Amino acid sequence: MAYQLTENAFGDLKNAAALAAASQFAYYPEDRGAEAFKNELGLDAKLISVNNTQAYVASNDDHLVVAFRGSEGPTTLDGIKDWLITNAGNLLIQPEGKLSTEFLAAGVGARWHQGFVNAITDIWDPLYAEVDARQKAKDRLLWVTGHSLGGALALMGSWLFLRKTMVPHQVYTFGAPMVGNKIVAEALNREFGGKIFRFVNSPDPVPLLPMMSLVANDFVHCDSHNVLGPSEASANLLVYLKESAGGVADGVLSGDVSEKVWGALQAKMMAHFLDDYRKLIGG
């Protein structure tokens, strides 16, 4: 068993390495994924898949890990453009539907990313049923993780677990985009203080996104983040992206400007891939 989770180590790089590995295994097909979880983490894993949303639920006697899969092409650009840039002006919503009460509990004015709400809603019922059954069989520490889109779903899933009084022990995300507005970020900070650890490779553009505007972005991250690499790289990257969209009225990201910014992002996307994160973490 290559990795272990340590209960009282919060934000620890060994825990990060273990959960980055789990996030990597979340991209695997079911047979290969179950084998990797067992051999590398000592966890019995099951894949939950509904439409285009997938997560592994994996456990042993002490720990239960929920690892959300990111975009279908984690080592390519496929799919990333659509949920980061295309139709960006319509992404923040007041949630509706069967999970709306849980998301609106973040506070008056809470707005969440529409695509991410749809994705977590698709998978929530069977995912929660599996986690609940395992916790009823034996209560264990709940860890939630994911890379890229999977990191966004890990934050939203953690919020939903909390609403079910199933409080995650720790949450680790890698290269995750923002999931909501300031009210949402404040709710995550308030409810998960000291339990969320966002790992960011400083040249990675995805944690700076989605962008409704390159001047005033309504999306906001929760507080906690762990920067991998030189910290000035993130600030330089934001300037780089703004310059790529130079001259846009009101900074709105759309049309030809969207294509120009996407061209700028492509040059930086290698820093988003999970292999880079794992090397920097030491796993």
**What are the pLDDT digits (tens) for 40-63?**
999 999 999 999 899 999 999 999
Residue 214 pLDDT exceeds 70: no
pLDDT number for residue 247: 46
The 3-state secondary structure of the chain reads CCCCCCCCCCCCHHHHHHHHHHHHHCCCCHHHHHHHHHHHHCCEEEEEEECCEEEEEEECCCEEEEEECCCCCCCCCCCHHHHHCCCHHHCEECCCCCCHHHHHCCCCCCCEEHHHHHHHHHHHHHHHHHHHHHHHHCCCEEEEEEECHHHHHHHHHHHHHHHCCCCCCEEEEECCCCCECHHHHHHHHHHCCCCEEEEEECCCCHHHCCCCECCCCCCECCCCEEEECCCHHHHHHHHHHHHHCCCCHHHECCHHHHHHHHHHHHCCHHHHCHHHHHHHHCC
Residue 282 pLDDT exceeds 50: yes
What percent of the chain has a predicted confidence (pLDDT) above 70? 75
pLDDT number for residue 133: 98
pLDDT number for residue 9: 94
Per CATH, the number for 13-281 is 3.40.50.1820
Mean pLDDT of the chain, nearest integer? 84
